[in-house]
Structure 1
Amino acid sequence: MYQIRYKQFVPTDIDTCWDFFSSPKNLKEITPDYMGFIVKNQIPEKMYEGLMIEYTVTPIMKIPMNWITEITHVTDKRYFVDEQRKGPYKIWHHEHHFKAVEGGVEMEDILTYELPLGFLGKIAHTMFVKSKVQEIFEYRNKKVEEIFK
């Protein structure tokens, strides 16, 4: 398994930050356009434990991949967890933590994932998956900076 951690300071209050990130409707706004992110089911304004989000992404060579994520844990204004139920990863466990700090909010993402296909998955990770995941988080960080100027 692999684990990546990202921290970002957001210059806003915890309520505003939580309202933005706890709305599944904002996920597309912080996802790169080339990912071809399309939500396929009806989603509410606010997430809740047990929420299933079905979407399609095209991360590699415009090949569409179906992905289903479940929101497994939510503690208001502190954290939530999404886990892949169907998709390209063997394991995808993504924790989103929020902490009010002086002048804003510290967000921390902890992504733990594993690829399928054993040795071939390890090669794919080295060749392009790791860099693609990092690129997506870097894009999100830039978008968050733009949104919360």
Structure 2
Amino acid sequence: MSKIYRLYSRQNVPAKLEEVWQFFSDAKNLLTVTPPQLNLKVTNEVYGATVYAGQVMTYTVKPLLRIPLSWMTEITHVEPLQYFVDEQRKGPYKLWHHQHHFKAIEGGVEMTDLVHYRLPFGLIGTLANSLVVKKELEKIFSYRYKKIEELFGSWPGSKMEIRMK
């Protein structure tokens, strides 16, 4: 069985919880916080102005060598103003489970992402993670961190926190 990897990211945002939640719970804003070089395209109509359990998104992405990959995720859990979870139903990973947590703190919001993922192809997947996937995910979350600072402002003295295991 192939290994399950973990990505952890934390960022403090100087904004109101409701404002941050509203932004992230609108599926259309995924495009805003995704690096343009991934060429993410939503391929289905996204219903509703806010995330809900059972919501499905389909899209194409070109992560490597401009080769298009189809991806389908489903929102499986939602606790408004606290967290939501998206899980891959079809796509490049054998497992993709992404938790988005939001917590009001003095002066803003602490946002935490926890992603568990597994790659297909056993040993080849392990090698691909070491050589490519891990670095690409770090780049994606680094881009997102900077984009959130552009949109909401930066937290005084804050630095990017992304950990991979």
Q: TM-score range by the shorter chain?
A: over 0.9
Aligned residue in 1 for 2:142:
138
Aligned residue in 2 for 1:16:
19
Q: Deviations over 1:35-64 (max 9, x none)?
A: 010000000321110001000000001000
Question: Separation in 2 of the partners of 1:128 and 1:58?
Answer: 14
Which among 49, 59, 68 is matched to residue 64 of structure 1?
68
Which among 42, 46, 51 is matched to residue 39 of structure 1?
42
Shift of 1:7: 0.3
Aligned residue in 1 for 2:77:
73
Shift of 1:72: 0.3
Structure 1 residue ranges without an equivalent (≥5)? none
User: Aligned Cα RMSD in Å?
Assistant: 0.5
Shift of 1:97: 0.3
Q: Secondary structure at the match of 2:141?
A: helix
Shift of 1:81: 0.2
Shift of 1:16: 0.2
Aligned residue in 2 for 1:52:
56
Question: Separation in 1 of the partners of 2:11 and 2:128?
Answer: 28
Calculate the TM-score normalised by the size of structure 2. Answer: 0.90
Aligned residue in 1 for 2:159:
none
Shift of 1:66: 0.2
- Any residues of structure 2 matched to 1:93-112 within 5 Å, and which? 93-112=97-116
Q: Secondary structure at the match of 1:59?
A: coil
Q: Deviations over 1:50-107 (max 9, x none)?
A: 0010000000010000000000000000000000000000000000000000000000
Aligned residue in 1 for 2:129:
125
Question: Separation in 2 of the partners of 1:108 and 1:96?
Answer: 6
State whether structure 2 residue 35 is matched by structure 1 residue 27.
no
Please say which of residues 100-109 and 39-48 is displaced more in the overlay: 39-48
Structure 2 residue ranges without an equivalent (≥5)? 154-165
Q: Secondary structure at the match of 1:30?
A: coil
Report the count of equivalent residues. 149
Q: Deviations over 1:92-134 (max 9, x none)?
A: 0000000000000000000000000000000000011000001
State whether structure 2 residue 9 is matched by structure 1 residue 3.
no
